[in-house]
Copies of this chain bind each other. A is one copy, B any other.
Amino acid sequence: MSKVTIQTVADKAGVSIKTVSRVLNKESAVRDSTREKVRAIIAELGYKPSPAARALASNSSKIIGLIYDNLSSAYVMAVQTGVLKACTDNGYNLVIHPCNNKSENLSQELISLVQKSRLDGLVLTPPITDREELVTELYDRKINLVNIAPRREDKNRDSVSNNDAEISCELIQYLIDQGHTRIGFISGDPDHGAAYKRLNGYKKALKIAGIKYNPSLVYQGDFSFESGEKAGHSLLNLENRPTAIFASNDYMAAGVLKVAHSLNLHVPNDVSLVGFDDAPVSRQIWPSLTTIKQPVVAMAEAATKLLINRISDPTKQATAITLDSKLLLRESTKSIKSVGNE
């Protein structure tokens, strides 16, 4: 089996390579009958255009980069799934690039990556999305970008967000409806915009319900299991301990649960517990966690589509999309309204 090139196809179809090229690139100016003939030959020969030749001639690699630094492998996998879907659907390839958000010269690293691999654009995920100086520099270099869940939406930037603050508020309102008024809160890594949004949702729900914000019920975590354990020790050993705790992610909630077990406290009888993310662990512990599920795959896919649109038209108006998360009620929460009042 000798090599099948565009020339092979053109010869066999009795047309020029330019016409084959037009069919390949779905250009309109081709007679239908010609198009069909060429397509048939392409299928017959199993011809696949050379990405290298296309990239070299067109000066665009059809490759985008996915940049992440996230401690949750389930989150990263979901993002990859969504990005890959959009890439496949649109004829793009993907380069994954895990990195360290704490790195001083991350922007230089990303610029080098883009130049070296000739990437057509980048998908940025939290918390890198919120490295403002980095994102600005990438934009200044005319690198096509899309931001997933940035802390602040910017009218000039493509982004896909979720309703972190709103759903957190809803969740707290749900707990309040269940009779909880002393509600502990464990915040996430302050490098993540999500940490603020979830805290804001918590505060807002309290305010609406007329419950005073009590700093002693709020503990600074960093999204890790270990920080959840520490927070759990603090909150559960409080003299007047909370009747419910909202941890900003499931890992921290799992940490609290472990401490509750060790203190012989029963969840949810002694304390209700809520996480965030619907991480696998939220279903693999006992009791299973009431949590919030973000549409991560859909967000990543939507973001990648925005990026691909921007690559084809770098001057187009920026778009900001918001997708909704939803509350998943499971075993770790319970009403504490007095019996008989219902």
Chain A facing B: main interface SS:
helix
Q: Given A51-B117, A257-B286, decide whether A93 and B95 contact each other with a Cβ distance below 8 A.
A: yes
Q: Given A48-B115, A73-B76, A77-B77, 6 other A-B contacts at CB below 8 A?
A: A51-B61, A52-B53, A73-B77, A84-B96, A84-B98, A96-B96
CB-CB contacts below 8 Å: A23-61 with B = 46, 48, 50-53, 55-56, 61
**Chain B proximity of A287: nearest CB distance (Å):** 8
Determine the interface band of chain A, counting residues with CB < 8 A from chain B: 35 or more
Q: How far is the CA of A281 from the CA of B84 in the complex (A)?
A: 26
CB-CB contacts below 8 Å: A290-307 with B = none
Chain A positions near chain B (C-beta within 8 angstroms): 46, 48, 50-53, 55-56, 61, 73-74, 76-77, 80-81, 84, 93-96, 98, 112, 115-118, 225, 251, 254-255, 257-258, 261-262, 280-281, 283-286
Closest to A251 in B: B284
**Chain B proximity of A316: nearest CB distance (Å):** 25
Of the residues B53, B80, B254, contact of A285 by C-beta under 8 Å: B254
Q: How far is the CA of A12 from the CA of B219 in the complex (A)?
A: 60
**Chain B proximity of A76: nearest CB distance (Å):** 6
Q: How far is the CA of A74 from the CA of B84 in the complex (A)?
A: 18
For residue A118, which residues in chain B have a CB less than 8 angstroms away from its CB?
Answer: 50-52
Q: How far is the CA of A282 from the CA of B331 in the complex (A)?
A: 20
Closest to A112 in B: B48
For residue A96, which residues in chain B have a CB less than 8 angstroms away from its CB?
Answer: 80, 84, 94, 96
Q: Given A61-B52, A258-B286, A286-B258, decide whether A117 and B95 contact each other with a Cβ distance below 8 A.
A: no
Of the residues B52, B77, B281, contact of A52 by C-beta under 8 Å: B52
**Chain B proximity of A116: nearest CB distance (Å):** 5
Of the residues B46, B48, B225, contact of A284 by C-beta under 8 Å: B225
Q: How far is the CA of A56 from the CA of B53 in the complex (A)?
A: 6
For residue A283, which residues in chain B have a CB less than 8 angstroms away from its CB?
Answer: 225
For residue A116, which residues in chain B have a CB less than 8 angstroms away from its CB?
Answer: 48, 51
**Chain B proximity of A264: nearest CB distance (Å):** 12
List 15 A-B pairs, Cβ < 8 Å: A50-B118, A52-B52, A52-B53, A52-B55, A56-B56, A73-B74, A76-B77, A84-B96, A93-B117, A225-B284, A254-B285, A255-B284, A257-B286, A281-B284, A281-B285
**Chain B proximity of A231: nearest CB distance (Å):** 14
A95 touches B98 (CB 8 A): no
